[in-house]
């Protein structure tokens, strides 16, 4: 028997697990491409809202709840933290998350706890926050276009890649040292 699809009520990342309740071993497959929800990003990089998020998950009924395992993949887009060039690369995260049955969950506010999520009262499981936590924490804190990106000149913003010799006129450090010595000698004179 098929459930009528209750469109509008549930998002593409919500799974009805009614049929898994009290049927340990039963499973559902959530394998689909969905538009990435908002908020899968940090300051410099992220998965653009609406871009393709491929989820491939198995949701299995176990005694304590439902165990979700599988992967989620998307294209990360952003800019290099050193030279500000656009970057993009594919990201896949492994998913393993237990949702406890509401009547077996400990405490009341388990929904906020990453380690201890619960199946909703309506026997729905919301996959989105799980994927958001996993994918956002897999984003680099300081993304670079490549490991040895030379970045920009700290003085003028020149793209160092175009001329590694690029530099600004500076007081020669040896002259600076001599200048320091001279000052010391002068100080000595003053005290004599
Ligand atoms: Zn770069
Ligand atoms: Zn410069």
pLDDT tens by residue, 43-58: 889 999 999 999 999 9
On average, the pLDDT of the chain sits at: 86
Residue 113 has pLDDT above 70, yes or no: no
Structural contact between residues 49 and 37, judged by C-beta atoms closer than 8 angstroms: yes
Structural contact between residues 79 and 144, judged by C-beta atoms closer than 8 angstroms: no
Of 22-31, 53-62, 109-118, where does mean pLDDT reach its minimum? 109-118
**Checking DSSP bridges between strand 52-61 and strand 86-100, what pairing results, if any?**
unpaired
Structural contact between residues 142 and 84, judged by C-beta atoms closer than 8 angstroms: no
How remote is the CA of residue 43 from the centroid of ligand 2, in Å?
Answer: 26
Q: Which ligand is in closest contact with the Cα of 163?
A: 2
Domain residue limits, the chain = 14-137, 160-191
How remote is the CA of residue 165 from the centroid of ligand 2, in Å?
Answer: 10
What pLDDT is attached to residue 3? 47
Residue 97 has pLDDT above 80, yes or no: yes
How remote is the CA of residue 149 from the centroid of ligand 1, in Å?
Answer: 5
Residues 175-181: contacts with CB under 8 Å, at least 24 apart: none
User: What gap in Å lies between CA 38 and CA 188, rounded to an integer?
Assistant: 67
User: What gap in Å lies between CA 142 and CA 43, rounded to an integer?
Assistant: 10
Q: How many residues does the chain have?
A: 192
Residue 5 has pLDDT above 50, yes or no: no
pLDDT band of residue 102 (cuts 50, 70, 90) is confident
Residue 1 has pLDDT above 90, yes or no: no
Over the stretch 135-161, which tens digit does the pLDDT of each residue have?
999 999 899 999 999 999 989 999 999
What pLDDT is attached to residue 4? 46
Q: At residue 134, what are phi and psi to the nearest 5 degrees? A: -65, -45
Type and span of the H or E element at 73: strand 65-79
Greatest extent of the chain over all pairs of C-alpha atoms, in Å:
103
How remote is the CA of residue 102 from the centroid of ligand 2, in Å?
Answer: 60
């Amino acid at each position: 028997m098929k459930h009528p699809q209750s469109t509008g009520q549930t998002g593409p990342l919500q799974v009805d697990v009614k049929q898994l309740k009290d049927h340990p071993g039963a499973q559902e497959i959530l394998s689909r491409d969905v538009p990435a929800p908002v908020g899968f990003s940090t300051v410099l990089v992220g998965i653009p809202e609406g871009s393709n998020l491929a989820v491939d998950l198995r949701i299995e009924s176990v005694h304590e709840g439902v165990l979700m395992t599988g992967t989620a993949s998307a294209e990360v887009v952003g800019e290099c933290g050193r030279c500000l060039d656009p970057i993009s690369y594919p990201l896949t995260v492994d998913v393993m998350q237990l949702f406890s049955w509401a009547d077996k969950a400990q405490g009341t506010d388990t929904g906020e706890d990453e380690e201890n999520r619960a199946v909703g009262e309506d026997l729905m499981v919301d996959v989105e926050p799980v994927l958001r936590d996993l994918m956002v924490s897999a984003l680099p804190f300081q993304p670079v276009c490549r490991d040895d990106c030379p970045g920009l000149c700290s003085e003028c913003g020149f793209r160092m890649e175009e001329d590694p010799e690029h530099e600004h006129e500076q007081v020669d450090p040896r002259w600076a040292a001599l200048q320091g010595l001279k000052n010391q000698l002068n100080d000595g004179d003053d005290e004599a």
